[in-house]
Amino acid sequence: MTKPSSASGVTFRPLDDLFEPTDGSSDKPQLAELDVDSLVPFSNHPFREYPEEKMQEMVESVTEHGILMPILVRPIDSGEGYEIISGHNRVEACIRAGIKKIPATIREMDDDTATILMVDSNLRQRDKLLPSEKAKAYKMKLDAIKRQGARSDLTSGRVGLKFGDKQTRDIVGEEAGDSGKQVQRFIRLNSLSAPLLDYVDEGTLAFNPAVEVSYLDPADQQVVYEIMERDQISPSLSQAQKLHKLAQIGKISEDAIEAVMTVEKPMYETITFRRNTVEKYFPAGTSGREIEKTIIRLLEEYQQKRENRKTYEETR
């Protein structure tokens, strides 16, 4: 029995509707099967490839079922190939699975439109993003919208709609489930040095202290990083705020950073759980460390839901 092609069974019309131009132009998307060798990643793509386990699952899926949702691409100006707007992981899965062709929606678009669509598609499709990914993506989208003259999300059919009293960051936040202030905080992370931003992704440097440290100049950030490395410590929010204040008034120095960061932190009340009260919720043999990590993750998700609810109520 002949194996169906990767495009068989795909219903293209909804995707065609999604990118239907609303400005009266004749720029209709085209549908085709493209050679994966003709595709190049989006320039400065801010999102990382799926973790290996998830990528392997995708490889198995495309091997068995093919690509069920076409990727989105735009022609390269030179006429030699296409730039991927949405579908980088699908393309990688096809390459690993040995699939040579992939269904694609081809659309002509300018750089800013492409950036907005690239960011939006990834924000919607990915379950969890690293702080550095959100930081870069939010900045790219915000800059693109500002260049377009305060035009909103092009995938939502609101091309050319003015924001009224809302700031651009608030619109970006609404469409991603964050507040405008949170978008601004994420964008601040782009001012962190690469080692400190890695610490944020790893959880070694907490988000809010990282935002405060981002206001320090590169030389002072390097001192913070070196102290963190040397003493295996991380600044608390109050310590990071002190560093920010010292930088604002021009009194920051290596000695000042050392003094602030090496002050003994106040002791906090320890919260403990009896193992027999929580282990019933976990598979037999789950370690205490794994139980702790799972509880923290669930609390983070709960907090995110509360923040999303608050943002929704504030913007109603």
Per-residue model confidence as pLDDT tens digits over 49-64: 988 999 999 999 999 9
Share of the chain above pLDDT 70, in %: 80
Predicted confidence band of residue 6 (pLDDT cuts 50, 70, 90): very low
Q: ∠ at Cα 49 (295, 53), nearest 5°?
A: 55
Residue 1: inside a domain, yes or no? no
Token pair in block for residue 251: 């009194």
Residues 239 and 299 in one domain: no
**What confidence category does residue 200 fall into, taking pLDDT thresholds of 50, 70 and 90?**
very high
4 domain-assigned: no
Residue range 273-287: mean pLDDT, rounded:
75
CATH at residue 50: 3.90.1530.10
Answer yes or no: do 63 and 131 share one domain.
no
The two beta strands, 30-35 and 101-106, are antiparallel
Tell me, yes or no, whether 79 and 144 share the same domain: no
User: Over 50: is that where the pLDDT of 15 sits?
Assistant: no
Whether 128 and 157 map to the same domain: the answer is yes
Evaluate whether residue 8 is within a structural domain.
Answer: no
| pLDDT tens sequence across 23-37 | 433 467 889 999 999
In the chain, count H helices and then E strands: 14, 5
Range of the domain at 140: 110-191
Greater confidence (183 vs 7) lies with 183
Task: Provide the domain count of the chain.
Answer: 4
CA distances to 160, 170, 177, 241, 293 from 296, in Å: 42, 28, 21, 25, 5
Are 55 and 90 within 8 A, CB to CB? no
Distance between alpha carbon 194 and the CA centroid of its chain, in Å?
16
Residue 140 falls inside a structural domain: yes
Instruction: Looking at the structure, tell me whether residues 25 and 41 fall in a common domain.
Output: yes
Average pLDDT in the 199-225 region? Answer: 95
Give me the pLDDT at residue 186, please: 94
pLDDT at position 27, please?
62
Per-residue confidence (pLDDT) for residue 9, from 0 to 100? 33
Spatial separation of the C-alpha atoms in residues 133 and 179, rounded to whole Å: 17
Residue 264 has pLDDT above 80, yes or no: no
- 284 vs 268, residue with greater confidence: 284
Confidence of residue 284 (pLDDT cuts 50, 70, 90): confident
Q: Please, what is the average pLDDT of the chain?
A: 81
Q: Are both 121 and 103 inside the same structural domain?
A: no
- The per-residue pLDDT for 255 is 95
Final residue of a domain: which of 191, 214, 238? Answer: 191
Is residue 272 very low, low, confident or very high in pLDDT (cuts 50, 70, 90)? low
Give the model confidence (pLDDT) of 74-117 as tens digits: 999 877 899 999 999 999 999 999 999 999 999 999 999 999 99
Q: Strands, E, within the chain: which ranges?
A: 30-35, 39-40, 71-75, 82-86, 101-106
Q: Tell me whether residue 162 is in a domain.
A: yes
User: Which of 137, 163, 191 is the last residue before a domain boundary?
Assistant: 191
